[in-house]
Chain A
């Protein structure tokens, strides 16, 4: 198996852009990534791309050029971006191709998502009675976690505060203003114990990454960030996931634990080696729980980590340096690739005002979504 490198990155600002469709935002990100890598659309030997709700990625060829390249549409819920990267990574790793692109984009209506039970292998009554709501899951998962491991509401506030603070430093973030602790704590309760400012919102945006073999990356002479591992996993028996009418009595595992373990094993590194991490923060509690599920700390230690500022940009393990989903919003198809985009910039030393000091070498990204799917990527400078 060959090494694979990220040689160019592009992003369409997250948030709301009424004048552009989701597909156009994806194409915008592609053009930027191509320019960043110093290549053209005609140089692309393949593409993997997708969105959850904004159309067929491969129709982008009408806009970008009818070169005849193989363009694989990816549709994998919240792991759409991660799965596009997974496919693109393997296409080069296997030796089949030397240069290609992964793109993810989306455009969602305002408000919470409104999935339909039948699309998720669930009976209609589940949606009828009001249980088909993603925010409920996140609230109940963190409620139990707080009860078991002594996490307080103060920590939920700290995560959101950090997200909005970091977002002010990221050009692509949606929320660019800091929000103080009191405002976060006292904002409208959405699903107890989580308030409005502790939740991310569905949004719009696009991200593209140009990938290359080592030989091609060397020849291009620009950004050269190695993909040490990419892993995507679905849920194991006994896990507690979004849209679950039941949980097994014998529970505990998760899609995240599986993906994390596989990515660390493939990369041959451990959590202690990671210098910067982007962890799925659908809401404040998710970031806290994912710190432990990805192996960075023991359950319950997050309370102290956050109080000490260990996950701040200048801390021991900076987490969600661009403000994460809380500040960027969540265009499902683009969100996982945004995390990888941010890590690539951090490792290349191009993150500007939010640059993690000390020349970070290893970056970790983790995406999670319904119905229990997780993608992890580990990057190395």
Chain B
């Protein structure tokens, strides 16, 4: 099963193809960009930059209470943080595939999508996440 075969956890939250991009909302009058896009005519949905830098981070060390958490009963600590998308908005996100001790404020990040297992026996859902941006690290420039 490819990732794109999995339904996203919410509609109009992010684009999975050709690259993962979160969908923000740009206020039609002020131009302010928010995330997620409110279900409101005063905001126009806009795809956000897939790349940014880590603004802050932490590690969730205990299983969040259910409800509202719907992750698997077997809990593994996970990283999360805020990623600054230049000139747009700073978004909160899970962080995947980065060792906890390697997390640094300012590190380049790129959007991705990963399956998230629901705890109620339902199908996994696709969620957005960010990971270390190897391209920016290697080439020193945004693609």
Residues of A within 8 A of B (CB): 111-112, 114-117, 123-133, 136, 139-141, 143-144, 147, 188-193, 244-249, 251
B90 touches A247 (CB 8 A): yes
Enumerate chain A residues within 8 angstroms of B60, measured Cβ to Cβ. 130, 133, 136, 191
Please determine whether A192 and B100 come into contact, CB atoms closer than 8 angstroms: yes
A141 touches B56 (CB 8 A): yes
Q: Can you report 25 residue pairs joining A to B where beta carbons are below 8 Å apart? A: A111-B65, A114-B68, A125-B10, A125-B13, A127-B70, A128-B125, A129-B94, A130-B60, A130-B64, A130-B69, A130-B80, A136-B60, A140-B82, A143-B56, A143-B105, A144-B55, A191-B60, A192-B59, A245-B91, A246-B90, A247-B82, A249-B88, A249-B89, A249-B90, A251-B90
Complex CA gap A151/B92 in Å reads 23
Min CB–CB distance A162 → chain B (angstroms)? 23
The answer to whether B9 touches A125 (Cβ under 8 A) is yes
Where the two chains meet, the residues of B that have a C-beta atom closer than 8 Å to any C-beta of A are 9-10, 13, 32, 34-36, 55-62, 64-71, 78, 80-82, 84, 87-92, 94, 100, 105, 116, 118, 125, 127
Distance in angstroms from A153 CB to nearest chain B CB is: 14
Nearest CB to that of A140 among chain B residues?
B56
Cross-chain contact B92 with A131 (CB below 8 angstroms): yes
CB pair B127–A140 under 8 Å, yes or no, is: no
Residue pair B35, A245 in contact (C-beta under 8 Å): yes
Q: How far is the CA of A147 from the CA of B116 in the complex (A)?
A: 31
Q: A125-B13, A129-B69 given. 10 additional CB < 8 A pairs?
A: A123-B36, A127-B68, A128-B71, A131-B92, A136-B60, A189-B59, A246-B35, A246-B90, A248-B90, A249-B87
Q: How far is the CA of A191 from the CA of B63 in the complex (A)?
A: 11
Contact A114 B55 (CB under 8 A): no
The docked-state distance in angstroms from the alpha carbon of A117 to that of B69 is: 10
Which of chain B's residues have a CB closer than 8 A to the CB of A190? 61-62
A247-B64 CB under 8 A given contacts A131-B80, A140-B81: no
- State whether A192 touches B10 (Cβ < 8 A): no
B116 to chain A, nearest CB (A): 6
Q: Are A127 and B67 in contact (CB under 8 A)?
A: yes
Contacts of A116 in B (CB 8 A): 67-68
**Nearest Cβ on chain A to B112's Cβ, whole angstroms:** 14
A136: chain B residues at CB < 8 Å are 58, 60, 80
Checking A111, A128, A139, A188 against B9 with a beta-carbon cut-off of 8 angstroms, the contacting residue is A128
A361–B60 CA distance with the chains assembled, in angstroms: 43
Report B34 CB to chain A, min CB distance, Å.
Answer: 6
A132 is contacted by which of B10, B69, B127 (Cβ under 8 Å)? B69
Q: Give the complex CA separation of A125 and B37 in angstroms.
A: 13
Q: Which residues of B contact A123 (CB under 8 A)?
A: 10, 13, 36
Minimum distance in angstroms from B65 CB to a CB of chain A: 4
- Given the complex of chains A and B, what is the CA–CA distance between A136 and B32 in angstroms? 26
* Chain B residue nearest to A133 in the complex (CB): B64
Q: State the 3 A-B residue pairs at the shortest beta-carbon distance, nearest first.
A: A127-B68, A114-B65, A139-B58
Q: Name the distance in Å between B80's Cβ and chain A's nearest Cβ.
A: 6
In the assembled complex, the Cα of A247 lies from the Cα of B93 at a distance in Å of: 12
**A112 — which chain B residues lie within 8 A by C-beta?**
62, 64-65
Chain A residue nearest in CB terms to B91: A246
Return B27 CB to nearest CB of chain A, in Å: 11
Contact indicator B68/A132 (Cβ below 8 Å): yes
> In the bound complex, what is the Cα–Cα distance between A37 and B21 (angstroms)?
62
Query: How many Å from the CB of A198 to the closest CB on chain B?
Result: 13
| Nearest chain B residue, comparing its CB with the CB of A190 | B61
Q: Are A244 and B65 in contact (CB under 8 A)?
A: no
A249 to B87, CA, bound (A): 7
CA of A214 to CA of B89 in the docked complex: distance in angstroms? 51
Closest Cβ neighbor of A238 among chain B residues? B32
Whole-angstrom CA separation of A193 from B88 in the bound complex: 28
Is there contact, CB below 8 Å, between A245 and B92?
A: yes
| A248 CB contacts on chain B under 8 angstroms | 32, 89-90
Q: Across the interface, do A114 and B71 meet the contact criterion of CB distance under 8 Å?
A: no
Q: Which of B61, B68, B82 contacts A188 (CB 8 A)?
A: B61
- Which one of B55, B87, B125 contacts A247 once the chains associate, using CB atoms below 8 Å? B55
Contact partners of A117 in chain B: CB under 8 A: 68
Distance to closest chain A CB from B114 (angstroms): 10
For the complex formed, measure the closest distance between the CB of B52 and the CB atoms of chain A, giving whole angstroms: 10
Which of A124, A189, A191 is B68 in contact with, Cβ under 8 Å? A124
Cβ of A128 and Cβ of B68 under 8 Å apart? yes
What CA separation (Å) do A78 and B88 show in the bound complex? 31
Highest count of chain A CB atoms <10 Å: which of B55, B84, B127 = B55
> Which chain A positions have C-beta within 8 A of B88?
249
